[in-house]
Amino acid sequence: AQRVTQPEKLLSVFKGAPVELKCNYSYSGSPELFWYVQYSRQRLQLLLRHISRESIKGFTADLNKGETSFHLKKPFAQEEDSAMYYCAPWADTGRRALTFGSGTRLQVQP
């Protein structure tokens, strides 16, 4: 079965600490992978996608096909990074829509 797993419901770090939000997927084919973010009282928005290999707001995510992971990382967390983060694969077989993980709430404390 196709599945995406975000094992941590809550990740709390201090400002300036490194952050790693975990995402593991189990998908047939070669999924496109995305991270979406939802700041408090705002809409879901795209943070980054693996194919573009960009760094957005200091976040990066590397696709590791061997480990089937797409962890989101930032070397120095900022308070404004506090939000819900969703890993979302888009498979090229089966359902052609985003499938969201359960999400991780990142809390950056001052």
Binder among 24, 90, 105, 107 for other proteins (CB under 8 A): 90
Cα gap 12→22, rounded to integer Å: 13
Binder among 11, 13, 56, 98 for other proteins (CB under 8 A): 98
* Interaction between residue 61 and other proteins (CB under 8 A): no
Taken in order 33, 19, 55, 42, the sign of the CA dihedral is positive
Binder among 25, 35, 59, 86 for other proteins (CB under 8 A): 86
* Interaction between residue 45 and other proteins (CB under 8 A): yes
Q: Which residues contact 47 (CB under 8 A, 6 or more apart)?
A: 34, 35, 36, 37, 56, 57, 59, 72, 85
* Interaction between residue 56 and other proteins (CB under 8 A): no
- Nearer Cβ to other proteins (17/95): 95
Q: Which residues contact 41 (CB under 8 A, 6 or more apart)?
A: none
* Interaction between residue 13 and other proteins (CB under 8 A): no
Query: Which residues contact other proteins (rule: CB under 8 A)?
Result: 32, 42-46, 49, 86, 90, 92, 95-103
